[in-house]
Amino acid sequence: MKTANDPRHQKRITRMQQLFSYSFRPVPPHEETAPIIERLSDVDGYIEKAASEWPLPKIAKIDLAILRLAVWEIVFDGSTPPKVVIDEAVELAKSFGNEHSAKFINGVLGTIIKETEGKTHDS
């Protein structure tokens, strides 16, 4: 059972916080987020396609940071099962987002999962 002190959960929180910070001030990325930042335009493309009614500038920056992390993990990293990534993203949204964040993130990631099922992506 996952706990708040789970090292993988803590690592996701750190990455999410770094991505959140990066959205305000794009500075050279931390080692933890460098692979995500390198693929940011690809990651954002998935988000834009799945949430076409929400342009990226209109998405809350914390929600965008959570989505970017989750999309990178699902589409490009692939080391964690998608259902686990979605569960973690929803938990992060409940902890750090607003009252609508969890539902929004769950919907966007669900759409991305459906779109990418069976497709492979190079890292």
Where helices occur in the chain by DSSP H, the ranges are 7-24, 34-38, 40-50, 61-71, 82-96, 101-116
Percent with pLDDT over 70 in the chain: 92
Question: Do 65 and 16 form a contact (C-beta atoms < 8 A)?
Answer: yes
Distance CA 86, CA 68 (A): 12
Distances (CA, A) of 5 to 8, 9, 13: 9, 7, 11
Binned at pLDDT 50, 70 and 90, residue 117 comes out as confident
Q: Which pLDDT score, from 0 to 100, does residue 4 have?
A: 67
Percent with pLDDT over 90 in the chain: 78
What are the pLDDT digits (tens) for 37-84?
999 999 999 999 999 999 999 999 999 999 999 999 999 998 999 999
73 token code pair: 């993990």
Q: Is residue 38 part of a domain?
A: yes
Q: Is residue 46 part of a domain?
A: yes
Query: Quick one: which of 77, 83, 80, 86 has its CA closest to 105?
Result: 86
CATH of the domain at 111: 1.10.940.10
Q: Is residue 81 part of a domain?
A: yes
Q: Is residue 23 part of a domain?
A: yes
Q: Is residue 75 part of a domain?
A: yes
**Number of domains into which the chain is organized:** 1
Q: Is residue 2 part of a domain?
A: no
Instruction: Check whether 119 has a pLDDT greater than 80.
Output: no
pTM for the complete prediction? 0.90
Q: Is residue 123 part of a domain?
A: no
Mean pLDDT of 85-111: 96
Q: Is residue 89 part of a domain?
A: yes
Q: Which domain holds residue 34?
A: 7-116
